[in-house]
């Protein structure tokens, strides 16, 4: 009995390690796609002038490519994980997807934070100053001070927002996709008991 328990614990530890490895690879891929979209979108919108129709159309196409590309990548990595571990059930596939969502959210949020604070700090500062100038005519001094405090905390706010949004979105996607990636027959145990 002890030998069976030790073997089961070793299998569980190996599965967890493999799950983290697979989620790390998938998270890196999803975070990279999202980061590329961030920088390409920023490059295309380069100026603070209002976007033309074609710039808006291109931005919409790029967003759709990123959106559906991330879903496709999540599905690809979840199916790959399931095919490499035929003994697992849909719950384990979902966990791998949720870990992927967490790791990609952390990566993307860190890149976004670095972009706001260091890489493109001047670009973001110009956007915020332009927005403040436009709002200053409609705000009293107290409201302007409050908006100024929010702007000072903008990097932290966007970091937390991106982690929450990306993680929740990725978890929902992995929950939906894991229902169609079943590698283990749910009736297998009941057939053995007969």
Euclidean distance between the first and the last CA atom of the chain, given in angstroms as a whole number: 23
4 pLDDT above the threshold of 60? no
CB contact at 8 A, 95 and 178 = no
Which of 35-39, 90-94, 138-142, 187-191 has the least mean pLDDT? Answer: 187-191
- Of 151, 90, 105, which Cα lies nearest the Cα of 126? 151
The pair phi, psi for residue 120, each rounded to 5°, is: -120, 40
What is the per-residue pLDDT for 191? 46
What is the per-residue pLDDT for 185? 53
Segment 20-50, tens digit of pLDDT: 999 999 999 999 999 999 999 888 876 555 6
* Cα torsion 90, 96, 99, 100: sign: negative
Segment 99-116, tens digit of pLDDT: 999 999 999 999 999 999
pLDDT band at 82 (very low <50, low <70, confident <90, very high): very high
What single DSSP character describes residue 182?
-
């Amino acid at each position: 009995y002890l030998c069976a328990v030790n073997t089961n614990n070793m299998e569980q530890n190996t599965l967890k390690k493999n799950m983290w490895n697979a989620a790390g690879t998938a998270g890196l891929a999803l975070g990279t796609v999202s980061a590329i979209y961030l920088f390409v979108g920023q490059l295309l919108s380069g100026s603070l002038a209002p976007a033309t129709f074609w710039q808006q159309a291109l931005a919409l196409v790029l967003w759709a490519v990123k959106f559906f590309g991330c879903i496709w990548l999540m599905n690809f990595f979840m199916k790959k994980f399931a095919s490499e571990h035929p003994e697992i059930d849909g719950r384990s596939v979902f966990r791998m997807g949720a870990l992927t969502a967490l790791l990609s959210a952390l990566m993307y949020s860190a890149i976004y934070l670095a972009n706001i604070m260091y890489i493109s700090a001047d670009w973001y500062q110009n956007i915020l100053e332009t927005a403040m100038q436009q709002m200053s005519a409609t705000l009293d001094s107290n409201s302007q001070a409050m908006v100024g405090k929010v702007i000072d905390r903008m990097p932290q706010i966007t970091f937390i927002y991106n982690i929450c949004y990306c993680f929740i979105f990725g978890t929902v996607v992995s929950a939906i996709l894991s229902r169609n990636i079943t590698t283990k027959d749910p009736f297998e145990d009941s057939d053995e008991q007969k």
